[in-house]
Amino acid sequence: MVYYFMSTTVDPAAVLYVGKDKFEKPQQFHADNLSSAHVYLRLKPGQEWDSIPVALVEDCAQLTKANSIEGNKKDNVTVIYTPWSNLFKNASMATGQVSFKDHKKTRTILIPTRQNPIINRLMKTRTVSSADELFADKENHLSELRAKAREKAKEARKEEERLAKERREEKYRREHAYEDLMKGDDEGDGGGKRSNQDGWDEDDFM
């Protein structure tokens, strides 16, 4: 099972996921050197993992501490968080144990004590779903992201086509500017020139 929580420290509220035990969802937040449930935060579009608001990080960390049997009883618990894509696991690791592909892509937060007001606020928003529902929710979310990416790429292509057309038109104007000028001069001379047939003679120059 998967527990859903809503953190109202940001607007719109952020969704936190907590696996019922360490066999559940891969985490973004977990207690360092302690067995704990894994807490996952879905970032908003365009949001970077290392610029999550401090209050939201604390909500995730407090929830991580509270869902660790050992950590919940301790003070000064360190919680590590990292992008999901940075997690590393192989067959030799115990269930729930993970490492990191790049340790530079991790951050830590120290939780001195459990903050009951934070935990109580989060608990009031808790709902329960199956792992299958979480998987379906994830797939829907990824589908939406792919659709937005396609639309963004389509808009980028249209803009590039517009700019390319402008460049072609500007190039044509530059290349034909002299021809158009000469054509205009020729038309002007032809319209005002008189010959003997028009009835002029040398006296016209006197």
Per-residue tens of pLDDT for the chain, all 206 residues: 788 999 999 999 998 988 654 433 334 576 776 777 778 888 887 888 888 999 999 999 999 999 888 888 889 999 999 888 888 877 776 666 678 888 888 999 999 999 999 999 999 999 988 767 766 776 776 777 788 888 888 999 999 999 999 999 888 888 777 666 666 655 555 555 555 555 555 555 44
Q: What pLDDT, on a 0 to 100 scale, did the predictor assign at position 139?
A: 75
> What CA–CA distance (Å, rounded) separates 75 from 72?
8
pLDDT for position 22? 43
Give pLDDT, residue 90. 77
